Structure 1
Amino acid sequence: MRIAVTGASGFIGGAVATALADAHHEVVGFGRRARGWSHAGARYRVWDLDTGPLRADRDFEAVVHCAALADDWAPLPAALKANRDGTRTVVRSFPGARIVHLSTSSVYDAFVPNVDVSESAFPVRRFLSPYAESKTLAEFELAGTNAVILRPHAVYGPGDETLLPRLLAAVRGGRLLLPEGAEVRHTLTHVDNLVQAVTRALDPGVPRGTYNVGDDAPTVLADVLREFFDRRRVRARIVGIPYRSAFALAASLETAARMRRRRPALTRYAVSQVGMERTLDLTAARERLGYRPTATSLEGAEAW
């Protein structure tokens, strides 16, 4: 199959493009950065979605759209341009191709716990970040297309520069302060499981639609973090902060940051993602995609 992968210079896009090229598909990776991804059996091209639709070499059977601005503090216009408008550009660039769109569980209501949340809980009308709002609107751009939308939560694994590394960097004096001590259940998503879901979604026989994606079963986030610290030989104790206190502090920091035009040290979105349950119902993916995820695993994390 001839497949285009947007965002190939990033963590998820690079993992997807590499896996598809390893499987001997004809892959062209697209990204903003020169030499952002490479594979002996594939090609890489620089393409900034902000510049508009691709003008040449558009004959692809499928496109995996991984490119996104995953920043919970990005200004809304910037988030919309990258995520909503970028998705519109992909649809226009590859007419007739099957689109596998990498969305996010952040499209669900961040103000309340998501307990075994199903795909039907979308859409919502309130958001804690421009990221969530812009990714919600991006999904609407795919209405009426031959698209499969995947909604993972907290993608981690080799090459991750966001989730676990950020929490590791937040350790101060041997302590990591987290809302509720992160003693809440999460459906995490190993990048290998996400790649499996993408591969299944590319099958023309798989019905289009929207699917939650994650590891085989939920886990307590604090337990995962403790194992990660052990594997990385980091001495760190998790200290819990009441959720309401952490949320109020983040709101104050956001207000001050807006006045000073700076990035806050903590956001309400981050508090909500760590301190509330975020578990996904994977029934649709299992039954309709034939998705068979593995359990949450930190094997090899010593080298991540």
Structure 2
Amino acid sequence: MRVAVTGASGFVGGAIATALADDGHRVVGYGRRAGGWSHPSATYRVWDLARGPLREPDRVDAVVHAAGLTDVWAGFERALLANRDGTRSVVRTFPNKRIVHVSTSAVYDDAGPSVHVAEDARLPERHLSPYGATKALAEGELSGRDVAILRPHLVYGPGERAMVRGLLAAVRGGRLLLPAGGEVPHALTHIDNLVAAVRSAVIPFGPKGVFNVTDAAPVLLSDAIGELLERRGVEARIVGVPTPAAFRAAHAVERAARIARTRPPLTRFMVNRLGYERTYNLTAAREQLTYRPRATSFDGAEAW
């Protein structure tokens, strides 16, 4: 099968493109920067989706749309251009093709927890970040099409660097401050589980709809972070901060950052994502995609 993968120069898109090429599919990976991804049996092309559709698209049978802007401090207009308008470019470039859209659990987020949320849950009218808001709008661009929308939560695994770097940088004086001390359940998503869901969904005329995609069962966030730090050889004691207090502190940090025109080390979105339960119903993926996720695992994290 001929498959286009957007965002191939990134962590998620690159892992998906590599896995599909390894499976024997004829993959064309797209990314914004030259030399962003390579595979012996695949093709890579530069494409900035925010600039509009491709004039001469490759012939493909299906598209995995993994490109997007995840920077929660990017501003609404920039996020809108990358996420909603980028998705619009994909639809216009590859009309009438099967699309697997990699979305995010952030589309569910408002100011409270997400507890065993199913895909038919009503999305909030107001999101805490441009990321969640514009990814929800991107999903709207796919309405009525042959599409499977995947919503993972906190994707991690080999090749992920931004989240690990941020976590390590947050350790100060042997302590790591976390909202609620990380004593909240989270259903994380290992990149291998996300790739498995894509493999099941990418088949033309496969199951349509929206699917939560996470590891097999939730874990305590404090346990997950503690294991990751231990595997990286970092000694740190997790110190709990009440989530409301952390939220107020983040608000103040954001205001100061806007005045100074700098990037804040802490945001309300970060506190909201980490300080409350984030668990999701996997029934739809299990039944329609025959999704069989593995348990949360940090094997090999020493090298991430």
Same fold (TM over 0.5): yes
Q: Distance in 2 between matches of 1:280 and 1:36?
A: 32
Number of residue pairs matched by the alignment:
304
Query: Could you tell me which residue of structure 2 aligns to residue 120 of structure 1?
Result: 120
1:69 partner letter? L
Question: Which 4+ runs in 1 deviate beyond 4 A?
Answer: none
Query: Could you tell me which residue of structure 2 aligns to residue 213 of structure 1?
Result: 213
Q: Measure how far apart 1:57 and its partner are.
A: 3.1
TM-score of the pair, normalised by structure 2: 0.98
Alignment partner of 1:172 is 2:193: no
Query: Could you tell me which residue of structure 2 aligns to residue 43 of structure 1?
Result: 43
Contact map agreement 2:62 2:204 (CA 8 A) in 1 = no
1:257 partner letter? A
Contact map agreement 2:57 2:94 (CA 8 A) in 1 = no
1:143–1:128 distance in 2 versus 1, CA, 3 Å: same
Contact map agreement 1:155 1:163 (CA 8 A) in 2 = no
1:84–1:205 distance in 2 versus 1, CA, 3 Å: closer
Q: Distance in 2 between matches of 1:29 and 1:137?
A: 24
1:199 partner letter? R
Alignment partner of 1:110 is 2:110: yes
Question: In angstroms, what is the RMSD of aligned CA positions?
Answer: 1.0
Q: Measure how far apart 1:205 and its partner are.
A: 5.0
Matches within 5 A, 1:1-304: 1-304=1-304
Structure 1 unaligned blocks of 5 or more: none
Q: Distance in 1 between matches of 2:122 and 2:213?
A: 15
Structure 2 unaligned blocks of 5 or more: none
Secondary structure of 1:84 counterpart: helix
Secondary structure of 2:158 counterpart: coil
TM-score of the pair, normalised by structure 1: 0.98
1:223 partner letter? D
Contact map agreement 2:61 2:204 (CA 8 A) in 1 = no
Q: Measure how far apart 1:159 and its partner are.
A: 0.5
Q: Distance in 2 between matches of 1:64 and 1:204?
A: 11
Contact map agreement 1:110 1:273 (CA 8 A) in 2 = no
Q: Distance in 2 between matches of 1:169 and 1:6?
A: 30
Secondary structure of 1:120 counterpart: coil
Contact map agreement 1:103 1:152 (CA 8 A) in 2 = yes
1:241 partner letter? V
